[in-house]
Amino acid sequence: MSEIAMTLAARLNAVGWMMSTAESCTGGLIAAHCTDFPGSSRWFDRGLVTYSNAAKTDLLGVEASMIETHGAVSEAVARAMALGAVYRSRARVSVSVTGIAGPDGGSAAKPVGIVWFGWCIDGWVFTECQLFTGDRHQVRQASCMHALEGLSNRLPSLPTSGH
């Protein structure tokens, strides 16, 4: 996974952009992968672990009413988390993750392994839902990989110089 982070680093460094993360079920794993190698501070601004609903509201500005209406594991909240991670940092790129890693906490509507992702790239937000199988560790690792790959796949047309 560090290879993906290194690729992101090169691409973001090339345009002078910073990245931030807003993580719930991954608990900081994405930020850890992004900071596994020296020089990360040139392109990685901050990682916000917003595990509780209160943290999502306090640190990212996600409205409590949105969480109450849609649930913490939802497209609306993933979108708001991605935007909040950019608005409350020096980043132009962010990734957000909110899901149910298990082994409990799931329901028929939102089973264990469901994860919503948000990617904010220079003001544009993309969201996606995935359902991962496996134990808690496997769901968290798969979520981390998908978050980084999803960001990398959405960065194909970065400008050649920073703004």
CATH number, position 60: 3.90.950.20
**Residue 161: inside a domain:** no
**Residue 159: inside a domain:** no
The pLDDT value recorded for residue 161 is: 44
The pLDDT value recorded for residue 84 is: 98
Residues of the chain with pLDDT under 50: 159-163
The pLDDT value recorded for residue 160 is: 45
Helix (H, G, I), strand (E, B), or coil: what is residue 132? coil
**Residue 163: inside a domain:** no
Q: Which residues contact 72 (CB under 8 A, 6 or more apart)?
A: 24, 53, 56, 98
Q: What is the largest CA-CA distance in the chain?
A: 47
pTM: 0.94
**Residue 24: inside a domain:** yes
Which stretch of DSSP H or E encloses residue 49? Answer: strand 44-49
Q: Which two tokens stand for residue 107?
A: 């329901």
The pLDDT value recorded for residue 2 is: 79
The boundaries of the domain holding residue 131 are 2-153
**Residue 138: inside a domain:** yes
**Residue 158: inside a domain:** no
- Yes or no: say if 69 and 80 are a contact pair by the CB < 8 Å rule: no
**Residue 26: inside a domain:** yes
* The total number of structural domains that make up the chain: 1
**Residue 60: inside a domain:** yes
